[in-house]
Structure 1
Amino acid sequence: MPLNTTQSVQSLISQAESILMGSHDPLHDHRHAERVADYAVVIARELHITKSSHLDALKLSAWWHDISRVMTKKPSFVLMPFIDDTLSAIILAWTAIKTGKWNRTAWLASRLILAKSVGTGKVFSRMFLTKRMRLLLDILQDADTVDTLASERTRDIQQLVDSSLSYHYAYRIMVWWFISTAFLEVKTQAAKEQLMAVLKEFMIWSHEESIMEWHIERYGQAWIDNMHVKLEQIIVQLEQDLSFAFVRVSS
């Protein structure tokens, strides 16, 4: 008996989870995908998105958006951010078609991942998404951003840095990129609340004595102090944005 849409989506999610459990990149494994899916649903509901097909598309796209990273044992820090979403969208579409699970939800999820890609995302979003659907794209992107410095990833980061020289330098570059550019900017108010909570948790973690010593030993006192200053600035800006939004709604 053919699967209905809900069953097909759940089957594809289970398939993604199984694949991601074999990921050689612990920062983009099944745990990351699950958190992004959870964040996406929370943000969507805060924005009063209740249509099941839209929520299913968000969950499906969250579970598949990093699936291409499983293709290699050593994902490139330089190349993968530019191609992983495009490849992941293609893999999801191909898998859904091949397994007889292709439907409108899988098609929407594939388009969301494709439109999320770095560099070409804006072009794809105009080509494949209506203005209404672009809100779902914002939610997916925001959910992925929120998980960037999630506390669940910190232990993995420590282990990776201590086990690999490439990760040692990658972590330094990654943190600089996250806090010194517009990377951590999110578009939805609901995501700002989630991001602020995540960043505060990260600040608490990074101020723990053993973690401070770990950072200082590897990157120096000046580096960790600068990171804390910039994170504080981001948190303050988020608090101001949320306060302004609250006042505007109240008035």
Structure 2
Amino acid sequence: MSAPVAVQLWSVHTLAGRDLPAVLGRLAAIGFAAVEPISLYGRSPAQFRSLTDGFGLEICSAHAPFPAGDEGERTLDTYEELGVDTLAWSLEPEELVTRDAMLRGLERVNEGAERAARRGMTIAYHNHFAELTASYEGELAYDALLAALDPAVVLELDMYWVAVAGLDPAALAARLGDRVRLLHAKDGPARGMDDHMVALGDGTLDVDAAVRSCTALDWCIVELDRTSGDMFEALEKSYDHLTGRRLAHGRSGVGQAARTHGKENP
């Protein structure tokens, strides 16, 4: 059975900062089942949740710093009020240069996982490409990281950065197995951090193979960091690719009339 399809709001970050209700309306009209916020765009958790609920959108997860240190409980307060049960974040590239630096960084991740668990919440580790290019005495940094990571931490696999690192996203997903619970689905030239991404199916990645290799997904999350064309058109085409090939499913009852109405907004 396919996972529901969501969208990471970083894809429309600038527009969401200008007019969040209009953006959420467009995404709901396309058919996305949920959003993954990286910001609350000046709203309180209750205000943000009221908006998403009003458009029939769930909040699948959120990108927020690991809830460790002095701000950890405040972070958990915010997202608990928002009704989010999974928080995803990454180590910084400089924390992956050496094994010792990575292990120090993981202290923050594992502390966050322990704190989150006390509230019935989960931490997800989101990869970029540094985890998949650095190595320690011949061991891939990502493998070393996973070995030292609290087993309660699930994985949000970003297929695009796997490809940028020169690895096969489908093969890696299959190797990671049931620990991959969230997938960032992206497509593009897979050259580097400044890539302009394209709708799923229009780039160099084997999107279908990568999604199908994730056998325990809770959510398939479309994220296009930037694009040369219209972002909403690229998101809609990506949604159609996933749902049309039964790789993921959206909200029921979203038809062409709703999409046309939604396009009246930005």
TM-score by length of 1: 0.30
Instruction: Specify which structure has the higher proportion of helix.
Output: 1
Task: Pick 1 or 2: higher relative contact order, CA cutoff 8 A, min separation 6.
Answer: 2
